[in-house]
Amino acid sequence: MKEALLKVENLRAGIDGKEILRGLNLTVHPGEVHAIMGPNGSGKSTFGGVLAGDPRFSVESGSATFHGTDLFGLSPEDRSHEGLFLSFQYPVEIPGVTMVNFMRAAVNAKRKYFGQEPMGAADFLKMMRQKRAIVELDNKLASRSVNEGFSGGEKKRNEIFQMAVLEPRLAILDETDSGLDIDALRIVAAGVNALKTNDNATIVITHYQRLLDYIKPDFVHILYKGQIVHSGGPELALELEEKGYDWIKQQHQS
Amino acid sequence: MNNEQHNPQTAGTRPAACPAAGNDSAVIAQATTGDYKYGFSSDIDTEIIPPGLSEDVVRLISEKKKEPQWLLDFRLEAFRYWKTLTPPTWAHLDIPTIDFQAISYYAAPVKKEGPKSLDEVDPKILDTFNRLGIPIEEQKALSGMAVDAVMDSVSVRTTHRERLAEMGIIFCSFSEAVRDYPDLVRKYLGKVVGYRDNFYAALNSAVFSDGSFVYIPKGVRCPMELSTYFRINSAGTGQFERTLIVADDDSYVSYLEGCTAPMRDENQLHAAIVEIIVEDRAEVKYSTVQNWYAGDREGRGGVYNLVTKRGLCRGTNSKLSWTQVETGSAITWKYPSCVLSGEGAVGEFYSVAVTRNRQQADTGTKMIHLASGTRSTIVSKGISTGHSQNSYRGLVRVAPKADNCRNYTQCDSLLLSDTCGAHTFPEIQVANPSAVVEHEATTSKISEQQLFYCNQRGIPTEKAVALIVNGYAREVMNKLPMEFAVEAQKLLEITLQDSVG
């Protein structure tokens, strides 16, 4: 068995003093795709935010070990450098900052972290070209402002583009399917699948089974009231699709 | 139809509205209190006259510069008028009382004869410019830019003059222009900004020391950017430049002005005048990057930048474009304006003004539409942090006989702290019903989510702030000539980053 890429133990975290994650456990190994499903308000997005270091959330107790490192001991940017990527449910607009400048700053910050020289302009533009092809974004992307004026589908494709550039070890896709039409969904999923290797892993956070038709999970977990209450294989997602979340709620309310 | 579009939130003063300062504000505050990079003074032999201002001093200045009688008369008239005035108080500025008798009105590096080549220029002067990042030699060789460097009151040297002269272009120090082209100077001096214009204009007209003179003859497109770098060096001296640019019919020129001043404890007064005349179908682009010493974090020291800049677009279809990036000075009082008196004339004003610590800026423009079919565009981007005060003040006036005029004004404020103030004072006077005048304004903050988004992609907060601020200012930065834009972008980053240690 390979060493775990991410090991989350008994994680308790919340926002403004309100506890949302109530003792969450999850282990992810390289090469695996995990889907985290659950009803609204169960803590799915909080989990992604806490792992990435979103300052809105505070960790109360528990631990997260990311390839041997204490994840919560790292700043958000160092978590990024160490290979953690969060695809945002609502990507933020940054007016006037072009994608090319934004990604150059990101790539060169990472290179600096690993003691490497900044990437030359020509090499960088070449890489941008290759990576944007993965999510079928056109050459206007480089000069557009970060997420400004992007359609819902473009925003999500742009997230996967950034993931392709940064080549994370662990990608967390937070509701990447929300607001996507079927074509955009297909492009996004194809992008994620193309980036999959035996060394990296993906956590897909989703409300619906739909995305999992395109990104095949190895494991499906059901998050409810801040805990993973059920884990299983891909068939669990189909079961949820059929029965809805009510049976989970009933099981755990009684 | 009087088609004024007015955003309700822009009416009158718009105080800083930053109620929900997240914990990012501490980080931003830290990232935006860097020290001044250009704070050094050069040890150069300087001839300086004792402090004080009187008719005798005005005569002495004129005499030292070997000026003709008409110019002395001009100075004396201005001086007599100035004595009747008091400093204006209408700006949203807290200007300490200036003792005009405590200032020396003339300082010049001591030299034997005017330098004929770079080898003859005092190496320390060249070193000063190099430390400012303005290698004259390099610029001369690489960028094909003609530089007229002004240190204190006397122009140090002018490059590329010969090449320009072949095309009939005059680009020289103001003193030389008075000596070599007295008729031209006399014809245009004070025609756009008269000495009766305001307190500081009167003062400048009385004591102006040097500056630049540009004349572009009919039909000539100036083949290079003309550039003046101003630098205030001597302690306790004011600097009173006078710039006069005349673009004759069908000509074009792009003029760059860069300003720095060394760190001094006492405040330094800078009261300049820029006059521009644009004839038929001529175009002038005037770009400024100003990073004079802004005082320390507690607001001690720094330059008072009290400047009158105005262009007269009296030619048909003439065009004047002001672009300014203002990051320095303790106090800025400056309204580069366009008087559009030629039919179809175009005026533009693009501004980025950054204030931090205790800096105060009251800056903007006036667009005076006197002729039909004139158009103007105003884009003002204020960035404020610390305890600074940043105001946009603008006037758009359309005269009764000016038909079909257009103005578009966009006025944005970015607040980086919850202790700064951003204000807008837009005034619109439309006396012709065919005018279309639009005004848009926004106020924004850098959000915690924007910073987290950058952080998540590996960009540290300090770099993220610089990136976001540069993005915010991009529309204006894009108007700067290329080599200047890069410099200005770096300046914004330096200004807003903690450059200590």
Residue B375 pLDDT level (bands cut at 50, 70, 90): very high
A54 with B458: Cβ contact below 8 A: no
- Is the pLDDT confidence value at B497 over 90? no
pLDDT at B21: 34
Structural domain count, chain B: 1
| Beta-strand runs (E) in B273-336 | 273-278, 283-290, 302-313, 319-326, 331-334
What share of chain B in percent tops pLDDT 70? 74
Mutate to test the interface with A, among B446, B456, B468 (most CBs of A within 10 A): B456
- Which one of A53, A106, A113 has the shortest CB-CB distance to B457? A106
Residue B150 pLDDT level (bands cut at 50, 70, 90): low
Mutate to test the interface with A, among B453, B472, B474 (most CBs of A within 10 A): B453
A80 with B455: Cβ contact below 8 A: yes
- Is the pLDDT confidence value at A149 over 80? yes
- Which one of B455, B461, B472 has the shortest CB-CB distance to A96? B472
Task: Report ipTM (2 d.p.).
Answer: 0.96
> B62-96, pLDDT tens digit by residue?
988 899 999 999 999 999 999 999 999 988 988 88
Rounded to whole angstroms, the Cα distance separating A159 from A188 reads: 9
A97 with B455: Cβ contact below 8 A: no
> B95-142, pLDDT tens digit by residue?
888 888 888 888 765 544 444 455 555 565 566 556 555 555 444 433
- Is the pLDDT confidence value at B260 over 70? no
Q: Which of residues B437 and B2 earns the better pLDDT score?
A: B437
Strand partners, B436: B3, B406
Mean pLDDT taken over chain B: 80
B458 with A106: Cβ contact below 8 A: yes
B457 with A53: Cβ contact below 8 A: no
> A45-75, pLDDT tens digit by residue?
999 999 999 999 999 999 999 999 999 999 9
- Is the whole model's pTM more than 0.90, yes or no? no
> A72-92, pLDDT tens digit by residue?
999 999 999 999 999 999 999
Architecture of domain A6-253: 3-Layer(aba) Sandwich (3.40)
- Taking the Cβ of residue B21 and every Cβ of chain A, the question of whether any pair is shorter than 8 Å is answered with no
- Taking the Cβ of residue B352 and every Cβ of chain A, the question of whether any pair is shorter than 8 Å is answered with no
pLDDT at B478: 85
pLDDT at B294: 80
- Is the pLDDT confidence value at B145 over 90? no
Mutate to test the interface with A, among B379, B448, B457, B490 (most CBs of A within 10 A): B457
Distance from the A10 Cα atom to the nearest Cα atom in chain B, whole angstroms: 24
Residue A138 pLDDT level (bands cut at 50, 70, 90): confident
User: Which residue range forms the structural domain that includes residue B173?
Assistant: 3-496
Amino acid identity at A99? M
Question: How many Cβ pairs within 8 Å bridge chains A and B?
Answer: 88
- Taking the Cβ of residue B472 and every Cβ of chain A, the question of whether any pair is shorter than 8 Å is answered with yes
B450 with A56: Cβ contact below 8 A: no
Least confident of A113-117, B123-127, B216-220, B247-251: B123-127
Going from the C-alpha of A29 to that of each of A43, A139, A203, A222, A237, the distances in angstroms are 22, 36, 11, 18, 20
> B151-205, pLDDT tens digit by residue?
554 544 455 667 788 899 998 888 889 999 999 999 999 999 999 999 999 999 9
Residue B501 lies in a domain: no
Report the residue of chain B nearest A107, measured CA to CA: B458
A102 with B467: Cβ contact below 8 A: yes
